[in-house]
Homo-oligomer: A and B are copies of this chain.
Amino acid sequence: MDAAALWQRYQNWLYFNEGLGFYLDISRIRFDDTFVAQMEPKFAKAFDDMAALEAGAIANPDEDRMVGHYWLRDPDLAPTPELAEDVTGTLKAIEAFASQVRTGSIYPPGQERFTDVLSIGIGGSALGPQFVAQALGPDFPPLNIHFIDNTDPEGIDRTLARIDNRLATTLVIVISKSGGTPETRNGMVEVQHHFASHGLDFSKQAVAITGIDSNLDRRAKSEQWLATFPMHDWVGGRTSELSAVGLLPAALQGIDIRSILGGAREMDAATRVANLRQNPAALLALAWYAAGNGKGDKDMVILPYKDSLLLFSRYLQQLVMESLGKEKDLDGNPVYQGIAVYGNKGSTDQHAYVQQLREGVANFFVTFIEVLKDREGPSVEVEAGVTAGDYLFGLLQGTRQALYDNARDSITLTIPEVNAHNVGALIALYERAVGLYASLVNVNAYHQPGVEAGKKAAASVIKTQLQIMQVLQAASEPMNLEALANRVGAPEDIETIYKMVRHLHSNQRSVALHGNPGDPTAVRISAL
């Protein structure tokens, strides 16, 4: 396509939302008018599905649930007055609590005020709060936030070491929708132990965000934690950033949560339009479909040219992959859907893997995110007439052009600046694009059966471990792996048992491994 035709294509497809100052350009995804015409009926259905979802239909049939994250930013949309009241009531409670903590009218025992927040949660209970903290956290927030987002003992130790002598003024938020996520439970138990070992009363410094009447909810109430906030069953983990899950940590850091909600609400309105060309989320979904042939044939590389948006790709990795990565479609047919997502930030990544993007395997499309405002205040010139921000701009444009010249497609989003309003809008844009794309490819975007399966597999490993420890303690002499596996009645798990023994032995956990550990047939195992 010559330059003039490309310029015309750019203008034809350019989406601009004046209120948000938001631009979307999908002109560098190579699709033609025939493709668009073919997609129109699919989009008509997707818009209908979305309207039904927003009206409170059961949009997550597997779990028999409504999908209501859009109500969080516009309670008037909620299908009943009770749900609307719940949203507004929770928001007010969050604001009141955060304000009382920030001003010191809620304070830790014997201390003037809270100085730090420790958030314990994983997946949807961590990625959104981490992304927003990095994107919007002020340089000197009223409370410094820390995260435990794993069940890694060393990682927990490091986080607690960094909180150091401020433990007595640290507010702990435990976030778990089900109230039973093992990683989060483990983090909580470890932190409770740490509090106890420092003579501190955990419950006087703890808050829970969890499903109503979950184990965690009941525990928090019976132990009289400082507060509990609800995680409704109509909000999924990966779309929970604008529920208490994201809003409470943000408010504690002094981030304007009404502004995040306002930006999301404005983008929701723009992406509710049942017209492909006037709906930026639909245009995004169209571009994804075109790039990957509706089957995820190409990876989605996310390149925000802004340091503060570094974690957006990780946030989207969950939102997109957990929503779309499904074995079966809504009719039960195997489809193996999904779109792989990765990326960090530009132009930094140009000095990393953009070499491959330009020249190597053509298995991806890029999403560039441009931020118009370079910084607060004027910039020094790095050479005559040129600023660091001009370079950032030039590197984005140059890379986009060079990729296109090499037949590598891209999408470009442009926002005026990174602020609460625009971050809310970005989150809402992608939530809707994922929902529409799921309709196009006919999958349930709101369940995650594979995650449940992973939990079960882990529980089975834990159970085996308890069994082998029993067997070893009862044994009179060291035995080999085969004998041990047979003794616990799990000869098919011998490999896992071998590794389990290596792990227990390495941690002085009442198990001794004798012989060359690299030779499974030669090792002998005994209780320590």
A interface vs B, CB < 8 Å?
Answer: 3, 6-7, 10-11, 14, 16-18, 23, 122-124, 126-127, 139-140, 149-158, 161-162, 181-183, 185-187, 189-190, 193, 237, 295-296, 299, 305-308, 314, 317-318, 321-322, 324-327, 336-342, 344-348, 350-364, 370, 372-376, 378-380, 382, 385-395, 397-399, 401-402, 414, 416, 418, 448-451, 453-454, 456-462, 465-466, 469, 491-496, 499-500, 502-503, 506-509, 516-521
Contacts and interface: CB of A to CB of B under 8 A. Distances in A.
A494 B7 contact: yes
A149 B149 CA distance: 25
Contacts of A321: 352-353, 355-356, 360
Which of A152, A382, A457, A516 is most buried by chain B, counting CB atoms within 10 A of its CB?
Answer: A152
Contacts of A124: 351
B361 A340 contact: yes
B376 A157 contact: yes
Contacts of A374: 152-154, 506-507
Instruction: Kindly list the 4 A-B residue pairs having the minimum CB-CB distance in the complex, ordered from nearest.
Output: A325-B356, A123-B351, A16-B518, A155-B307
Contacts of A469: 385
Which of A359, A362, A492, A520 is most buried by chain B, counting CB atoms within 10 A of its CB?
Answer: A359
Contacts of A345: 150, 152
B151 A521 contact: no
A466 B185 CA distance: 58
A325 B139 contact: no
A341 B353 CA distance: 9
Contact of A337 (B193, B347, B361): B361
A101 to B, nearest CB: 23
Q: Say how many copies of this protein the assembly contains.
A: 2
Given A151-B391, A454-B350, A157 B375 contact: yes
Contacts of A388: 151-153, 156, 186-187, 189-190
Contact of A391 (B158, B183, B351, B491): B183
Contact of A465 (B340, B390, B502): B390
Q: Give the interface SS of chain A, mostly helix, strand, loop or mixed.
A: helix
A291 to B, nearest CB: 13
Given A153-B389, A183-B391, 4 more contacts: A151-B391, A325-B359, A391-B458, A401-B457
Given A342-B340, A461-B393, A465-B386, A354 B450 contact: yes
Which of A122, A187, A388, A448 is most buried by chain B, counting CB atoms within 10 A of its CB?
Answer: A388
Given A153-B374, A380-B193, A521-B11, A322 B495 contact: no
Contact of A394 (B154, B339, B461): B461
A190 B342 contact: no
A339 B322 contact: no
A379 B454 contact: no
Contact of A492 (B3, B337, B402, B459): B3
Contacts of A352: 123, 127, 314, 317-318, 321-322
A516 B18 contact: yes
Nearest to A338: B360
Which of A10, A362, A507 is most buried by chain B, counting CB atoms within 10 A of its CB?
Answer: A507
Contacts of A156: 375, 388
B386 A151 contact: no
B461 A397 contact: yes
A521 to B, nearest CB: 7
Contacts of A186: 382, 388, 391
A299 B342 CA distance: 11
Nearest to A158: B139
Contacts of A521: 11
A348 B122 contact: yes
A379 B193 CA distance: 10
Which of A398, A414, A508 is most buried by chain B, counting CB atoms within 10 A of its CB?
Answer: A398
B317 A154 contact: no
Contact of A23 (B162, B378, B394, B518): B518
A458 B390 CA distance: 10
Given A126-B348, A462-B390, A308 B158 contact: yes
Contacts of A492: 3
Which of A352, A402, A500, A508 is most buried by chain B, counting CB atoms within 10 A of its CB?
Answer: A352
5 contacts: A11-B521, A296-B360, A317-B352, A337-B361, A372-B503
